[in-house]
Structure 1
Amino acid sequence: MAEAGSRRFEGRTAIVTGAGTGVGRATALALAREGARVIVANRRADAGESAVAAIEALGGEAFYVQTDVARRESVQGLVEAALARYDRIDILINNAGVLGPMAPTADVTEEQWDEVMDINLKGAWLCMKYAIPAMVRQRRGVIINVASSANLRTYPYLSAYSASKAGMLGMTRVAAAEYAKAGILVKALCLGAVRTPMIEPGIKHAGNEALLDSMHAVGRIAEPEEVGEAIVWLCSDQASFVVGPALNMTGGTELL
């Protein structure tokens, strides 16, 4: 590829959900730089195709699959497309997610609650459900579930989001225990605030970005690219002894 990399993932196939923007896009690009063939899974076609174009501009290999992770048929189609093209799935990044309503718990509607759970928790479970059998056949695979500092500290007015990410950690623990001996490493990465479209409601709620910065011990929010590099490391052979809810990348927000 045009940009230098160690090519740690040469010949490996990675699915990244929510890969059109933010952390997902940065992760897809970072994996491609290391030689991975990337399946860009995204609900919005324009963003997904843009991510593919960016990967191809680097000399990487990628294709786009329009995916709604909350729908079983859509996730099945995603996994089938990956296997039809490459006959293997080495890496799954469960990144697709929504912040949901910022409201007191009793003011959240059932429809809002269900949407957050369907995308953040059920979506990750569906992707694991359909990708894991291929990984079991290969006797190898890595799954990264992108979780949140909401598992480490309390964020008032984010009950649905916090519950969905807590569920993700529980699911990660169980799946990690179930599949580690089969060569499949299931891990979770807990993130603080990252500069993505997803945090725009949070900035608006806080009044300004400076207040959001002050909620992190390092005095700033994260950039998508540094998160992407952390995920690349978690997927690498250098992190083969890391399993379960393993890494916090929160900027120390839980310390304050």
Structure 2
Amino acid sequence: MNNPATTPVVLITGALTGIGRATAVAFAREGAHLVVSGRHDDAGQKLAIELRELGAQAEFVKADVRNDDEVRNLVDQTVARFGRLDIAVNNAGTEGQPGPITEQTADKFAATFDTNVLGVLLSLKHQLRVMQPQGKGSIVNISSAFGKIGAPGASVYAASKHAVEGLTKSAALESVSFGVRVNAVAPGPIQTGMLDRFAGGEEVKSYLANGLPMKRLGEANEIANAIIFVASDTGSYITGQSISVDGGRTAL
């Protein structure tokens, strides 16, 4: 990947923690050029330094994926820095406020959907604006196993990830004739801060792990490896798909 003409330029939203961070590190180790994004300057700049120490050319651009202008600027700055955009990973997301459906409100719904669905839509909009004229590109949206099977106490989150699945398929069909692939990776329960907040304790995490055929939680780097495969030319015949990486959960 040392040839600038062939070194992939990768943009990752929600890159500062969890799966996004693991994916940024994995791409850096592959030698990619990186733009990482999130809402916190200090953490973003620290991550960019860490990625450079791994040998990557890396920049941090602060952006809130719920804001159209900020997402436009994020993509434009990526192209201004590296000349193109080859791979985008739309990882920014929130678990919202878990709880029974009877306790959900319009405000809770909007807060979750604004990040998980509107954020993906705006990201796709501006990424495809660049990739389609290029005649190539690969986008990976981060969905969830809960977006395929549902989960008690996670109705709004699951619904938002169902929407990501639909956005992925629609964007793939719109973009295939331009040479752009759009897929989703759907993690199961992964050991991240988001899972800690959702579960609220080790007892629930243990329950989730024991409900999986593999009998363990996943690790963020396992999702990162799947993202790299799906995004890369190795997965060149894959588009419009949602790849489950969930310890066998959706096989039950």
How would you bin the TM-score normalised by the shorter chain? over 0.9
Match of 1:25 in 2: 21
Structure 1 residues 221-244: Cα deviation after superposition (integer angstroms, max 9, x where no partner): 111111111111111111000111
Confirm or deny: 8 A CA contact 2:48 2:58 kept in the other structure. yes
Q: Tell me the distance in 2 between the aligned counterparts of 1:122 and 1:230.
A: 24
Matched, 1:34 2:30: yes
Cα pair distance change 1:207/1:245, threshold 3 Å: same
After the TM superposition, which of the residue ranges 245-254 and 183-192 deviates more from structure 2?
245-254
Q: Tell me the distance in 1 between the aligned counterparts of 2:45 and 2:192.
A: 18
Paired residue for 1:187, among 168, 171, 183?
183
Task: Note the 1:1-256 alignment, pairs <5 A.
Answer: 10-204=6-200, 207-256=203-252
The number of equivalent residue pairs is 252
Structure 1 residues 95-149: Cα deviation after superposition (integer angstroms, max 9, x where no partner): 0100011111131122211111010010011011011121111100000011000
Return the TM-score normalized by structure 2. 0.94
After the TM superposition, which of the residue ranges 197-206 and 47-56 deviates more from structure 2?
197-206
Q: Tell me the distance in 2 between the aligned counterparts of 1:219 and 1:56.
A: 36
Q: Tell me the distance in 1 between the aligned counterparts of 2:230 and 2:5.
A: 12
- Find the residue that maps to 1:88 and give its secondary structure: coil
Shift of 1:206: 6.8
CA RMSD, 1 decimal: 1.9
Cα pair distance change 1:172/1:9, threshold 3 Å: farther
User: How many percent identity over aligned positions?
Assistant: 33
Q: What is the letter of the counterpart of residue 41 of structure 2?
A: A
After the TM superposition, which of the residue ranges 111-120 and 100-109 deviates more from structure 2?
100-109
| Structure 1, unaligned runs of 5 or more | none
Q: Tell me the distance in 1 between the aligned counterparts of 2:24 and 2:202.
A: 30
Q: Tell me the distance in 2 between the aligned counterparts of 1:194 and 1:11.
A: 29
Q: Tell me the distance in 2 between the aligned counterparts of 1:54 and 1:9.
A: 24
Q: Tell me the distance in 2 between the aligned counterparts of 1:242 and 1:136.
A: 17
Confirm or deny: 8 A CA contact 1:192 1:250 kept in the other structure. yes
Q: Tell me the distance in 2 between the aligned counterparts of 1:155 and 1:7.
A: 46
Structure 1 residues 136-190: Cα deviation after superposition (integer angstroms, max 9, x where no partner): 1110000001100012222011111111100010111111111112110000111
Shift of 1:255: 3.8
| Structure 2, unaligned runs of 5 or more | none
Shift of 1:47: 2.2
Q: Tell me the distance in 2 between the aligned counterparts of 1:183 and 1:243.
A: 10
Cα pair distance change 1:153/1:8, threshold 3 Å: farther
- Find the residue that maps to 1:207 and give its secondary structure: helix
Q: Tell me the distance in 2 between the aligned counterparts of 1:53 and 1:215.
A: 39
